[in-house]
Amino acid sequence: MLCFLRGMAFVPFLLVTWSSAAFIISYVVAVLSGHVNPFLPYISDTGTTPPESGIFGFMINFSAFLGAATMYTRYKIVEKQNQTSYFSTPVFNLVSLVLGLVGCIGMGIVANFQELAVPVVHDGGALLAFVCGVVYTLLQSIISYKSCPQWNSLSTCHVRLAISAISCAAVVPMIACASLISITKLEWNPKEKDYIYHVVSAICEWTVAFGFIFYFLTFIHDFQSVTLRISTEINDDI
């Protein structure tokens, strides 16, 4: 049986494939429509102008939902593992979940408020998504090491930490360079003074975004042993 069809593994698998498709499809449509330069646009640039804005908004909204579902399932997995064999304070796991869900809310804001229409709201949502997302991966990496070797292999822990470190290293120059850009626009000329800031922040943005995607890919193995059960009870007294 395919690995993503076992247990709840389809949830992070769907998150990874859907989010990748959201970025790629929006980029291709924006470039073919002539709305952005093919060389290093911001992710948000590829979802600003119709028709790609509709595609971007719909797909990123669903990605945010899938992200929340994945994070909550991961929270329940760690909670159960910790009850079976204590390795970390439950608060640590809860803080990780809350930060992750805040990041998903930030994704929803990015999807629904285009950068040229309401830049302050859009940028605030992006900041929430990226910063909270990076901290989430760091906390989950720490949890992975704490639960090793009973619940995680050492190689999985190393991969998660490496992705977290790269994302953390990229998010700082991304925010710093983006804050130095004096104007929000889609078309860039290499001769402009802010062009180098745009290039650096765009590279870092794509790095962090796909860092999240590869990080959730590492959850597939953990989710294979998880089963979702829904119980319905009817109270006759009502």
Per residue in 7-65, pLDDT tens?
889 999 999 999 999 999 999 999 999 999 888 899 999 998 899 999 999 999 999 99
Asked whether residue 147 carries a pLDDT value surpassing 60, the answer given is: yes
pLDDT tens figures, 103-132: 999 999 999 998 888 889 999 999 999 999
CA–CA separation, 54 and 58 (whole Å):
6
Position 26 in a domain = yes
pLDDT in the model for residue 238: 56
Domains in the chain, number:
1
Position 234 in a domain = no
CA–CA separation, 35 and 188 (whole Å):
12
Helix axes 154-180, 195-217, angle to 10 degrees: 160
Position 58 in a domain = yes
Q: Which residues constitute the domain of residue 47?
A: 9-223
| Token representation of residue 145 | 């090491």
Position 78 in a domain = yes
CA–CA separation, 119 and 154 (whole Å):
42
Position 17 in a domain = yes
CA–CA separation, 198 and 182 (whole Å):
10
pLDDT tens figures, 125-135: 999 999 999 99
Position 2 in a domain = no
What residues have CB less than 8 Å from 215, skipping those under 6 apart?
A: 137, 140, 160, 163, 164, 167
Position 49 in a domain = yes
Position 238 in a domain = no
**At 231, is the pLDDT very low, low, confident or very high (cuts 50, 70, 90)?**
confident
pLDDT in the model for residue 188: 84
